[in-house]
Amino acid sequence: MRFPRSCGTLVHPTSFPGKYGIGDFGNEARAFIDFLERTHQTIWQLLPLTPTGYGNSPYASFSAFAGNTYLISPDILISKGLITRAEAAKTEIAPGVEVSYDEAFAKKDELFKVASTSFYANLTSEEEKNFKSFKKANKHWLDDYVLFMACSLHYNKQPWNKWDKDIAQRKPEALKSYKKKFKEEISLQYWMQYEFNNQWVELKKYANEKNIRVVGDIPIFVDHNSSDVWANPQYFEVDKQGNRVLVAGVPPDYFSETGQLWGNPQYNWKELEKDGFSWWVDRFKHMFNTCDAIRVDHFRGFDEYWEVNAKEETAINGRWVEGPGEKLFDTILKECGELPIIAEDLGFVTEGVEKLRDKYAFPGMKIIQFAFDSDSTNAFLPHNYPQNSVVYTGTHDNDTSIGWYNQAPEQEKHRVRVYSKSDGSSINWEFIRLGMLSVSDQAIFPMQDFMNLDTSHRMNFPGTSSGNWLWRYTNHMFSEIDEERIASFVELSNRKVIVKS
Protein backbone atom coordinates (compact mmCIF):
# COMPACT_ATOMS: atom_id res chain seq x y z
CA MET A 1 0.00 0.00 0.00
CA ARG A 2 1.05 3.61 -0.45
CA PHE A 3 1.49 5.70 2.65
CA PRO A 4 0.53 9.40 2.88
CA ARG A 5 3.26 12.03 2.79
CA SER A 6 4.20 12.25 6.44
CA CYS A 7 7.02 12.15 8.97
CA GLY A 8 7.87 10.78 12.37
CA THR A 9 10.37 9.71 14.99
CA LEU A 10 12.25 6.49 15.62
CA VAL A 11 12.63 5.66 19.32
CA HIS A 12 12.18 2.45 21.29
CA PRO A 13 10.16 2.46 24.55
CA THR A 14 13.20 1.34 26.55
CA SER A 15 14.72 4.75 25.74
CA PHE A 16 12.00 6.74 27.47
CA PRO A 17 13.00 8.49 30.71
CA GLY A 18 11.53 7.48 34.04
CA LYS A 19 12.23 6.25 37.54
CA TYR A 20 12.26 2.48 37.06
CA GLY A 21 15.58 1.92 35.29
CA ILE A 22 14.05 1.21 31.88
CA GLY A 23 11.53 3.08 29.74
CA ASP A 24 7.98 1.74 29.81
CA PHE A 25 4.38 2.30 28.66
CA GLY A 26 3.62 4.90 31.33
CA ASN A 27 3.44 8.69 31.45
CA GLU A 28 6.73 9.30 29.62
CA ALA A 29 5.45 7.29 26.64
CA ARG A 30 2.39 9.51 26.47
CA ALA A 31 4.57 12.61 26.80
CA PHE A 32 6.48 11.42 23.73
CA ILE A 33 3.25 10.93 21.78
CA ASP A 34 2.16 14.43 22.81
CA PHE A 35 5.47 15.71 21.42
CA LEU A 36 4.70 14.05 18.08
CA GLU A 37 1.29 15.70 18.05
CA ARG A 38 2.66 19.17 18.91
CA THR A 39 5.22 18.97 16.11
CA HIS A 40 2.67 17.60 13.57
CA GLN A 41 4.46 14.27 13.22
CA THR A 42 2.23 11.27 12.53
CA ILE A 43 4.60 8.28 12.74
CA TRP A 44 6.13 6.54 15.72
CA GLN A 45 8.58 3.84 14.68
CA LEU A 46 9.92 1.44 17.29
CA LEU A 47 12.01 -1.72 17.47
CA PRO A 48 10.57 -5.20 18.15
CA LEU A 49 8.43 -5.28 21.30
CA THR A 50 9.25 -8.93 22.01
CA PRO A 51 11.06 -10.16 25.17
CA THR A 52 14.81 -9.76 24.87
CA GLY A 53 17.32 -12.53 25.34
CA TYR A 54 21.08 -12.49 24.97
CA GLY A 55 22.63 -9.01 25.09
CA ASN A 56 19.20 -7.41 25.68
CA SER A 57 18.75 -7.18 21.92
CA PRO A 58 15.18 -6.79 20.66
CA TYR A 59 16.37 -8.83 17.68
CA ALA A 60 17.27 -11.81 19.90
CA SER A 61 14.02 -12.75 21.56
CA PHE A 62 12.54 -15.65 23.51
CA SER A 63 9.47 -15.37 21.29
CA ALA A 64 8.36 -13.87 17.99
CA PHE A 65 4.89 -13.26 19.47
CA ALA A 66 5.19 -12.44 23.18
CA GLY A 67 5.62 -8.97 24.62
CA ASN A 68 8.58 -7.61 26.57
CA THR A 69 6.99 -7.48 30.00
CA TYR A 70 9.69 -5.16 31.39
CA LEU A 71 7.88 -2.44 29.41
CA ILE A 72 4.94 -2.79 31.79
CA SER A 73 4.53 0.45 33.72
CA PRO A 74 4.48 0.21 37.53
CA ASP A 75 2.58 3.51 37.62
CA ILE A 76 -0.25 1.95 35.62
CA LEU A 77 -0.24 -1.04 37.98
CA ILE A 78 -0.70 1.44 40.84
CA SER A 79 -3.66 3.04 39.06
CA LYS A 80 -5.25 -0.41 38.70
CA GLY A 81 -4.80 -1.12 42.40
CA LEU A 82 -2.53 -4.11 41.77
CA ILE A 83 0.38 -2.63 43.75
CA THR A 84 0.81 0.23 46.21
CA ARG A 85 2.92 3.34 45.74
CA ALA A 86 5.19 2.11 48.51
CA GLU A 87 5.75 -1.19 46.68
CA ALA A 88 6.49 0.64 43.44
CA ALA A 89 8.89 2.99 45.23
CA LYS A 90 11.10 0.00 46.10
CA THR A 91 11.55 -0.53 42.35
CA GLU A 92 12.81 2.98 41.64
CA ILE A 93 16.29 3.48 40.19
CA ALA A 94 18.15 6.76 39.74
CA PRO A 95 17.55 7.92 36.13
CA GLY A 96 20.38 8.23 33.62
CA VAL A 97 21.26 7.96 29.94
CA GLU A 98 21.54 4.16 29.99
CA VAL A 99 19.04 1.42 30.74
CA SER A 100 19.84 -0.36 34.02
CA TYR A 101 18.85 -3.77 32.69
CA ASP A 102 19.99 -6.12 35.46
CA GLU A 103 18.78 -3.96 38.33
CA ALA A 104 15.49 -3.13 36.61
CA PHE A 105 14.85 -6.78 35.79
CA ALA A 106 15.49 -7.94 39.34
CA LYS A 107 13.28 -5.28 40.91
CA LYS A 108 10.45 -5.59 38.39
CA ASP A 109 10.44 -9.38 38.70
CA GLU A 110 9.60 -9.04 42.39
CA LEU A 111 7.05 -6.31 41.74
CA PHE A 112 5.25 -8.35 39.10
CA LYS A 113 4.88 -11.28 41.50
CA VAL A 114 3.08 -8.95 43.91
CA ALA A 115 0.88 -7.52 41.14
CA SER A 116 0.07 -10.97 39.75
CA THR A 117 -0.95 -12.28 43.17
CA SER A 118 -3.22 -9.26 43.60
CA PHE A 119 -4.71 -9.78 40.13
CA TYR A 120 -5.69 -13.40 40.74
CA ALA A 121 -6.93 -12.73 44.28
CA ASN A 122 -9.28 -9.95 43.15
CA LEU A 123 -10.36 -11.28 39.77
CA THR A 124 -13.83 -10.00 38.86
CA SER A 125 -16.10 -11.95 36.52
CA GLU A 126 -15.61 -9.34 33.80
CA GLU A 127 -11.82 -9.39 34.17
CA GLU A 128 -11.81 -13.18 34.18
CA LYS A 129 -13.84 -13.18 30.97
CA ASN A 130 -11.36 -10.80 29.30
CA PHE A 131 -8.40 -12.84 30.56
CA LYS A 132 -9.84 -16.07 29.16
CA SER A 133 -10.58 -14.34 25.87
CA PHE A 134 -6.98 -13.14 25.63
CA LYS A 135 -5.62 -16.62 26.32
CA LYS A 136 -7.93 -18.19 23.77
CA ALA A 137 -7.11 -15.65 21.04
CA ASN A 138 -3.37 -16.17 21.55
CA LYS A 139 -3.39 -19.88 22.29
CA HIS A 140 -1.37 -20.71 19.14
CA TRP A 141 1.77 -19.25 20.78
CA LEU A 142 0.93 -18.35 24.37
CA ASP A 143 0.63 -21.80 25.95
CA ASP A 144 4.00 -22.88 24.56
CA TYR A 145 5.62 -19.59 25.55
CA VAL A 146 4.57 -19.57 29.21
CA LEU A 147 5.78 -23.15 29.67
CA PHE A 148 8.99 -22.36 27.80
CA MET A 149 9.71 -19.40 30.11
CA ALA A 150 8.97 -21.44 33.22
CA CYS A 151 11.36 -24.15 32.06
CA SER A 152 13.94 -21.59 30.96
CA LEU A 153 14.01 -20.00 34.40
CA HIS A 154 14.27 -23.44 36.02
CA TYR A 155 17.29 -24.23 33.84
CA ASN A 156 18.90 -20.79 34.44
CA LYS A 157 18.06 -19.66 30.88
CA GLN A 158 20.28 -22.28 29.30
CA PRO A 159 19.37 -23.00 25.63
CA TRP A 160 16.39 -25.35 25.52
CA ASN A 161 18.40 -28.12 23.85
CA LYS A 162 20.49 -28.27 27.07
CA TRP A 163 17.44 -29.04 29.22
CA ASP A 164 16.43 -32.52 30.31
CA LYS A 165 15.99 -34.55 27.13
CA ASP A 166 12.32 -35.38 27.64
CA ILE A 167 11.14 -31.77 28.03
CA ALA A 168 13.58 -30.49 25.40
CA GLN A 169 12.02 -32.88 22.90
CA ARG A 170 8.50 -32.20 24.18
CA LYS A 171 7.58 -35.72 25.23
CA PRO A 172 3.86 -35.70 26.20
CA GLU A 173 4.44 -36.98 29.73
CA ALA A 174 7.19 -34.41 30.31
CA LEU A 175 4.97 -31.56 29.08
CA LYS A 176 2.22 -32.68 31.44
CA SER A 177 4.63 -33.03 34.37
CA TYR A 178 6.33 -29.67 33.89
CA LYS A 179 3.03 -27.83 33.50
CA LYS A 180 2.00 -29.18 36.88
CA LYS A 181 5.41 -28.59 38.46
CA PHE A 182 5.62 -24.94 37.34
CA LYS A 183 1.94 -24.05 37.70
CA GLU A 184 2.68 -20.95 39.79
CA GLU A 185 5.30 -19.54 37.39
CA ILE A 186 3.05 -20.30 34.40
CA SER A 187 0.23 -18.31 36.02
CA LEU A 188 2.61 -15.39 36.49
CA GLN A 189 3.73 -15.56 32.85
CA TYR A 190 0.12 -15.62 31.63
CA TRP A 191 -0.71 -12.53 33.66
CA MET A 192 2.38 -10.62 32.51
CA GLN A 193 1.51 -11.20 28.86
CA TYR A 194 -2.08 -10.16 29.51
CA GLU A 195 -0.98 -6.98 31.29
CA PHE A 196 1.59 -6.17 28.59
CA ASN A 197 -1.12 -6.49 25.96
CA ASN A 198 -3.58 -4.31 27.88
CA GLN A 199 -1.05 -1.54 28.49
CA TRP A 200 0.18 -1.62 24.88
CA VAL A 201 -3.36 -1.54 23.44
CA GLU A 202 -4.17 1.52 25.54
CA LEU A 203 -0.94 3.29 24.55
CA LYS A 204 -1.43 2.56 20.85
CA LYS A 205 -5.03 3.79 21.14
CA TYR A 206 -3.72 7.02 22.67
CA ALA A 207 -1.40 7.46 19.68
CA ASN A 208 -4.02 6.57 17.09
CA GLU A 209 -6.51 9.03 18.56
CA LYS A 210 -3.92 11.73 17.86
CA ASN A 211 -3.60 10.54 14.25
CA ILE A 212 -0.23 8.90 14.93
CA ARG A 213 0.55 5.64 13.14
CA VAL A 214 2.69 3.10 15.00
CA VAL A 215 5.29 1.33 12.85
CA GLY A 216 6.54 -1.90 14.39
CA ASP A 217 9.49 -4.08 13.43
CA ILE A 218 9.51 -7.75 12.49
CA PRO A 219 12.92 -9.45 12.42
CA ILE A 220 13.11 -12.03 9.66
CA PHE A 221 14.83 -14.57 11.92
CA VAL A 222 14.05 -15.82 15.42
CA ASP A 223 16.46 -16.75 18.17
CA HIS A 224 17.44 -20.39 18.59
CA ASN A 225 16.73 -20.19 22.31
CA SER A 226 13.08 -19.31 21.80
CA SER A 227 9.72 -20.90 22.33
CA ASP A 228 9.19 -20.74 18.56
CA VAL A 229 12.04 -23.13 17.76
CA TRP A 230 11.39 -25.33 20.80
CA ALA A 231 7.69 -25.70 19.94
CA ASN A 232 8.13 -25.94 16.15
CA PRO A 233 11.53 -27.55 15.42
CA GLN A 234 10.23 -28.91 12.12
CA TYR A 235 10.18 -25.36 10.73
CA PHE A 236 13.86 -24.73 11.48
CA GLU A 237 17.23 -26.15 10.44
CA VAL A 238 17.99 -28.00 13.67
CA ASP A 239 18.81 -31.66 14.24
CA LYS A 240 16.83 -34.14 16.37
CA GLN A 241 18.61 -32.95 19.51
CA GLY A 242 17.74 -29.32 18.75
CA ASN A 243 21.26 -28.29 17.74
CA ARG A 244 21.57 -25.71 14.98
CA VAL A 245 22.65 -27.10 11.61
CA LEU A 246 22.42 -24.05 9.34
CA VAL A 247 22.42 -20.48 10.62
CA ALA A 248 21.75 -16.96 9.36
CA GLY A 249 24.01 -14.00 8.72
CA VAL A 250 25.22 -11.69 5.98
CA PRO A 251 28.49 -11.71 4.04
CA PRO A 252 31.14 -8.97 4.47
CA ASP A 253 29.53 -5.54 4.02
CA TYR A 254 29.54 -1.87 5.06
CA PHE A 255 29.27 -2.84 8.73
CA SER A 256 31.76 -5.74 9.00
CA GLU A 257 34.76 -7.10 7.09
CA THR A 258 33.94 -10.67 8.10
CA GLY A 259 30.21 -10.29 7.63
CA GLN A 260 27.76 -10.81 10.45
CA LEU A 261 27.20 -14.29 11.85
CA TRP A 262 23.87 -13.90 13.59
CA GLY A 263 23.56 -17.54 14.59
CA ASN A 264 19.77 -17.70 14.21
CA PRO A 265 18.66 -21.06 12.83
CA GLN A 266 17.64 -20.93 9.20
CA TYR A 267 14.08 -21.81 8.25
CA ASN A 268 13.10 -25.11 6.73
CA TRP A 269 11.13 -23.40 4.01
CA LYS A 270 9.97 -26.67 2.43
CA GLU A 271 8.22 -27.67 5.65
CA LEU A 272 6.78 -24.20 6.11
CA GLU A 273 5.37 -24.23 2.59
CA LYS A 274 3.82 -27.69 3.11
CA ASP A 275 1.88 -26.19 6.01
CA GLY A 276 0.72 -23.20 3.95
CA PHE A 277 3.22 -20.91 5.70
CA SER A 278 0.81 -20.96 8.67
CA TRP A 279 3.46 -19.94 11.21
CA TRP A 280 4.38 -16.89 9.13
CA VAL A 281 0.73 -16.01 8.50
CA ASP A 282 0.09 -16.12 12.25
CA ARG A 283 3.14 -13.95 12.83
CA PHE A 284 2.09 -11.25 10.37
CA LYS A 285 -1.50 -11.28 11.64
CA HIS A 286 -0.19 -10.83 15.17
CA MET A 287 2.02 -7.91 14.09
CA PHE A 288 -0.79 -6.19 12.19
CA ASN A 289 -2.93 -6.49 15.34
CA THR A 290 -0.12 -4.99 17.38
CA CYS A 291 0.95 -2.12 15.07
CA ASP A 292 -0.44 -0.07 12.20
CA ALA A 293 2.45 -0.87 9.85
CA ILE A 294 5.57 -3.03 9.95
CA ARG A 295 9.18 -2.56 8.98
CA VAL A 296 10.33 -5.97 7.75
CA ASP A 297 13.94 -6.37 8.83
CA HIS A 298 16.44 -7.87 6.32
CA PHE A 299 13.85 -8.02 3.54
CA ARG A 300 16.46 -9.42 1.19
CA GLY A 301 16.30 -12.72 3.07
CA PHE A 302 12.90 -13.47 1.59
CA ASP A 303 14.34 -13.32 -1.94
CA GLU A 304 17.62 -15.06 -1.11
CA TYR A 305 19.41 -15.58 2.18
CA TRP A 306 22.98 -16.14 3.35
CA GLU A 307 23.27 -19.65 4.75
CA VAL A 308 26.23 -20.63 6.95
CA ASN A 309 27.15 -23.96 8.51
CA ALA A 310 26.59 -23.70 12.27
CA LYS A 311 30.18 -24.82 12.92
CA GLU A 312 31.67 -21.74 11.19
CA GLU A 313 33.13 -18.95 13.33
CA THR A 314 32.45 -16.10 10.87
CA ALA A 315 29.93 -15.46 8.10
CA ILE A 316 32.56 -15.46 5.34
CA ASN A 317 32.09 -19.08 4.25
CA GLY A 318 28.40 -19.05 3.44
CA ARG A 319 26.26 -19.26 0.33
CA TRP A 320 23.22 -17.54 -1.13
CA VAL A 321 20.07 -19.68 -1.20
CA GLU A 322 16.78 -18.88 -2.89
CA GLY A 323 14.11 -17.72 -0.45
CA PRO A 324 10.33 -18.22 -0.45
CA GLY A 325 9.73 -14.94 -2.30
CA GLU A 326 6.35 -14.39 -3.90
CA LYS A 327 4.89 -17.69 -2.66
CA LEU A 328 5.13 -16.44 0.92
CA PHE A 329 3.88 -12.90 0.33
CA ASP A 330 1.04 -14.02 -1.95
CA THR A 331 -0.11 -16.26 0.90
CA ILE A 332 0.21 -13.49 3.49
CA LEU A 333 -1.61 -11.05 1.20
CA LYS A 334 -4.44 -13.54 0.74
CA GLU A 335 -4.75 -14.17 4.48
CA CYS A 336 -4.13 -10.64 5.81
CA GLY A 337 -5.41 -8.39 3.04
CA GLU A 338 -3.65 -5.04 2.72
CA LEU A 339 0.04 -5.16 3.69
CA PRO A 340 1.29 -1.87 5.22
CA ILE A 341 4.94 -2.93 5.08
CA ILE A 342 8.26 -1.06 4.85
CA ALA A 343 10.99 -3.21 3.31
CA GLU A 344 14.41 -2.93 4.95
CA ASP A 345 16.28 -3.26 1.67
CA LEU A 346 19.69 -1.93 2.69
CA GLY A 347 23.00 -3.45 1.64
CA PHE A 348 23.58 -4.93 -1.78
CA VAL A 349 20.14 -4.88 -3.40
CA THR A 350 19.72 -7.33 -6.26
CA GLU A 351 17.26 -7.24 -9.12
CA GLY A 352 15.34 -10.05 -7.41
CA VAL A 353 14.93 -8.03 -4.21
CA GLU A 354 13.70 -5.00 -6.15
CA LYS A 355 11.25 -7.14 -8.12
CA LEU A 356 9.84 -8.71 -4.94
CA ARG A 357 9.62 -5.35 -3.15
CA ASP A 358 7.99 -3.57 -6.08
CA LYS A 359 5.44 -6.29 -6.86
CA TYR A 360 3.71 -5.47 -3.58
CA ALA A 361 4.56 -1.74 -3.70
CA PHE A 362 6.51 -1.96 -0.44
CA PRO A 363 8.49 1.26 0.12
CA GLY A 364 12.23 0.74 0.56
CA MET A 365 14.58 2.64 2.87
CA LYS A 366 16.97 5.49 2.10
CA ILE A 367 19.69 6.46 4.59
CA ILE A 368 21.17 9.94 4.21
CA GLN A 369 24.40 8.94 5.99
CA PHE A 370 25.11 6.53 3.10
CA ALA A 371 24.83 9.28 0.47
CA PHE A 372 28.25 10.91 0.39
CA ASP A 373 30.84 8.22 -0.32
CA SER A 374 30.62 8.52 -4.12
CA ASP A 375 29.22 10.88 -6.75
CA SER A 376 25.89 12.43 -7.74
CA THR A 377 24.51 9.05 -8.88
CA ASN A 378 24.55 7.68 -5.32
CA ALA A 379 21.09 6.17 -4.72
CA PHE A 380 21.02 7.53 -1.15
CA LEU A 381 21.27 11.18 -2.25
CA PRO A 382 17.83 12.77 -1.85
CA HIS A 383 17.56 13.85 -5.47
CA ASN A 384 17.66 10.18 -6.51
CA TYR A 385 14.88 8.88 -4.26
CA PRO A 386 11.70 7.32 -5.64
CA GLN A 387 8.52 8.70 -4.14
CA ASN A 388 7.51 5.34 -2.68
CA SER A 389 10.30 5.21 -0.12
CA VAL A 390 11.11 6.07 3.49
CA VAL A 391 14.03 8.41 4.18
CA TYR A 392 16.03 8.28 7.42
CA THR A 393 19.01 10.30 8.57
CA GLY A 394 20.10 7.00 10.12
CA THR A 395 18.55 4.00 11.88
CA HIS A 396 19.17 2.24 15.18
CA ASP A 397 22.13 0.50 13.47
CA ASN A 398 23.80 3.80 12.51
CA ASP A 399 25.70 6.41 14.45
CA THR A 400 23.88 9.63 15.28
CA SER A 401 24.22 12.17 12.47
CA ILE A 402 26.59 14.32 14.52
CA GLY A 403 28.63 11.25 15.46
CA TRP A 404 28.75 10.12 11.84
CA TYR A 405 29.91 13.53 10.60
CA ASN A 406 32.59 13.87 13.26
CA GLN A 407 34.13 10.56 12.18
CA ALA A 408 33.55 10.77 8.41
CA PRO A 409 36.49 11.09 5.98
CA GLU A 410 37.21 14.70 5.02
CA GLN A 411 36.12 14.09 1.43
CA GLU A 412 32.68 12.97 2.59
CA LYS A 413 32.41 15.94 4.92
CA HIS A 414 33.21 18.21 1.99
CA ARG A 415 30.49 16.61 -0.15
CA VAL A 416 28.02 17.03 2.72
CA ARG A 417 28.82 20.72 3.08
CA VAL A 418 28.54 21.35 -0.65
CA TYR A 419 25.30 19.39 -1.01
CA SER A 420 23.62 20.95 2.02
CA LYS A 421 25.08 24.42 1.45
CA SER A 422 26.16 24.53 5.08
CA ASP A 423 29.29 24.67 7.20
CA GLY A 424 28.47 21.34 8.87
CA SER A 425 28.06 22.85 12.33
CA SER A 426 24.44 21.64 12.65
CA ILE A 427 24.67 18.56 10.47
CA ASN A 428 21.81 16.75 12.20
CA TRP A 429 19.42 19.56 11.29
CA GLU A 430 20.81 19.76 7.76
CA PHE A 431 20.13 16.03 7.32
CA ILE A 432 16.66 16.40 8.82
CA ARG A 433 15.93 19.26 6.41
CA LEU A 434 17.17 17.20 3.43
CA GLY A 435 15.00 14.28 4.49
CA MET A 436 11.94 16.42 5.07
CA LEU A 437 12.24 18.16 1.69
CA SER A 438 12.90 14.94 -0.23
CA VAL A 439 10.25 13.37 -2.44
CA SER A 440 10.03 10.27 -0.19
CA ASP A 441 6.49 9.69 1.02
CA GLN A 442 7.72 9.14 4.57
CA ALA A 443 10.56 10.71 6.53
CA ILE A 444 11.57 9.20 9.89
CA PHE A 445 14.32 10.47 12.17
CA PRO A 446 15.99 8.97 15.27
CA MET A 447 15.20 10.83 18.45
CA GLN A 448 18.94 11.41 18.99
CA ASP A 449 19.10 13.66 15.91
CA PHE A 450 16.31 15.89 17.22
CA MET A 451 18.31 16.15 20.45
CA ASN A 452 21.67 17.15 18.88
CA LEU A 453 23.41 14.07 20.33
CA ASP A 454 26.77 12.52 19.44
CA THR A 455 28.19 8.98 19.22
CA SER A 456 27.97 8.40 22.98
CA HIS A 457 24.20 8.17 22.52
CA ARG A 458 24.26 5.58 19.75
CA MET A 459 21.80 2.66 20.11
CA ASN A 460 23.60 -0.24 18.40
CA PHE A 461 26.93 -1.24 16.89
CA PRO A 462 26.17 -4.01 14.36
CA GLY A 463 28.45 -7.01 14.60
CA THR A 464 29.07 -6.54 18.34
CA SER A 465 27.32 -8.49 21.09
CA SER A 466 27.66 -6.24 24.13
CA GLY A 467 27.23 -2.60 25.09
CA ASN A 468 24.19 -2.10 22.84
CA TRP A 469 20.52 -1.14 23.32
CA LEU A 470 21.39 0.97 26.36
CA TRP A 471 20.46 4.49 25.32
CA ARG A 472 17.88 6.48 27.23
CA TYR A 473 17.14 10.17 27.07
CA THR A 474 16.52 12.37 30.08
CA ASN A 475 13.66 14.77 30.72
CA HIS A 476 16.15 17.62 30.30
CA MET A 477 17.15 16.40 26.81
CA PHE A 478 13.47 16.10 25.95
CA SER A 479 12.66 19.62 27.11
CA GLU A 480 15.52 21.05 25.03
CA ILE A 481 14.19 19.80 21.66
CA ASP A 482 13.51 22.63 19.21
CA GLU A 483 9.88 21.77 18.57
CA GLU A 484 9.18 24.92 16.58
CA ARG A 485 11.96 24.02 14.15
CA ILE A 486 10.53 20.54 13.64
CA ALA A 487 7.00 21.86 13.14
CA SER A 488 8.24 24.43 10.61
CA PHE A 489 10.01 21.71 8.61
CA VAL A 490 6.82 19.64 8.62
CA GLU A 491 4.83 22.60 7.28
CA LEU A 492 7.48 23.58 4.73
CA SER A 493 7.77 20.04 3.35
CA ASN A 494 4.02 19.39 3.15
CA ARG A 495 4.19 16.48 5.62
CA LYS A 496 1.37 17.64 7.86
CA VAL A 497 -1.35 15.03 7.50
CA ILE A 498 -4.81 16.58 7.38
CA VAL A 499 -7.46 14.43 9.01
CA LYS A 500 -10.74 14.47 7.12
CA SER A 501 -13.75 14.64 9.39
Active site residues: 297, 344, 397
Query: What are the C-alpha distances in Å from 323 to residues 14, 298, 351, 369?
Result: 33, 12, 14, 29
Nearest alpha-carbon partner for 207 in 445, 23, 8, 34: 34
**Which residue, among 185, 230, 303, 226, has the nearest Cα to 65 in the 3D structure?**
226
Helix (H, G, I), strand (E, B) or coil at 204: helix
Residue 307 to residues 108, 250, 347, 495, Cα–Cα distance (Å): 39, 8, 16, 41
- Helix H, strand E, coil C: the string for 335-367 is HHCCCCEEECCCCCCCHHHHHHHHHCCCCEEEE
Taking Cα atoms as reference points, which of 397, 379, 367, 161 lies closest to residue 260? 397
Instruction: For residue 120, give Cα distances in angstroms to 112, 114, 178.
Output: 12, 10, 21
What would the 3-class secondary structure string for 359-417 be?
Answer: HCCCCEEEEHHHCCCCCCCCCCCHHHCCCCEEEECCCCCCCCHHHHHHHCCHHHHHHHH
- CB neighbour list of residue 156: distance below 8 Å, 6 or more residues apart: none
Q: Is 43 helix (H, G, I), strand (E, B) or coil?
A: strand
- The SS3 of residue 10 is strand
Would you give the distance in Å from CA 379 to the centre of its chain? 26
Separation between Cα atoms, residue 383 and residue 419, nearest integer Å: 11
- The type of residue at 188 is L
Answer yes or no: are the C-beta atoms of 489 and 433 closer than 8 Å. yes
Give the list of residues 6+ apart from residue 182 with CB closer than 8 angstroms, or none.
147, 150, 151, 154
3 state SS of 326:
helix
φ/ψ bin of 218: left (φ > 0), alpha (ψ from -120 to 50), beta (otherwise): beta
DSSP 251-320: -S-SS-TT-EEEEEEPB-HHHHHHTTTHHHHHHHHHHHHH-SEEEETTTHHHHEEEEEETT-SSSSSEEE
